[in-house]
Homo-oligomer: A and B are copies of this chain.
Amino acid sequence: MNVQLFRYSRHMSSTRTAPSRTRWLSTDEQATWRSFLAMQKRIRETLERQLQQDAGMPMTYYVILAMLSEAPERTMRMTELAAIAGTSQSQLSHAATRLEDAGWIERRRCLDDKRGYLAVLTDAGFEVLSKAAPSHVETVRSVLFDALDPDQVAQLKDIADAVTSHAATG
């Protein structure tokens, strides 16, 4: 991979006539960025494919079911579920339609608040989840943790937390 992503590099940034204000990436940053993209792609694709094979669903849906499975009564308000699973309401609504078609969840009206709905994980849903979990976790391990030593695991956590909290702040 000696390819330069367009203008990630400095070499195109400063013409004598029109100096740019863009903070282009340094050589090290470019290298990190490309490596990061490769890792990211690798991990996402691996997990996505594995879940599609073993559970017949994308990771988003898996997380939705997983979150539901740990809620009291395996039941949650749609909005709360969206928040905890990190999806938009719209996405959850579409997903819920699929998941309901598959028989993995049910939707019930919320009695307190008639605008709302409750999503409930069915036994079938719990089954699917239980069967998918081991190979999912095994895949996570093999694609990520098996490649890292314990220091790196700690470093990665710090890095990820820094990025996420920086996002929240700035």
Residues on the B chain within 8 Å of A25, using CB: 137, 140-141, 145
A160 at the binding interface (Cβ < 8 Å) = yes
Q: Among B29, B67, B138, B167, which residue has its beta carbon within 8 angstroms of that of A22?
A: B138
C-alpha gap A70/B25 in the complex (Å) = 17
C-alpha gap A165/B31 in the complex (Å) = 15
Task: Check A69–B163 contact: CB distance below 8 A.
Answer: no
Q: A65 to nearest B CB, angstroms?
A: 7
Q: A32 to nearest B CB, angstroms?
A: 4
| Known A148-B159, A152-B155: A137·B8 in contact at CB below 8 Å | yes
A4 at the binding interface (Cβ < 8 Å) = yes
- Chain B's closest residue to A29 (CB) is B145
- What class of interface size applies to chain A in its complex with B? 35 or more
Residues on the B chain within 8 Å of A123, using CB: none
Q: Among B28, B129, B147, which residue has its beta carbon within 8 angstroms of that of A163?
A: B147
A sample of 23 inter-chain contacts (CB < 8 A) reads A3-B84, A5-B67, A6-B66, A6-B69, A6-B70, A7-B134, A23-B138, A29-B153, A31-B157, A32-B153, A32-B154, A35-B156, A36-B160, A38-B86, A38-B164, A39-B161, A142-B170, A143-B163, A143-B166, A144-B163, A148-B159, A155-B156, A156-B156
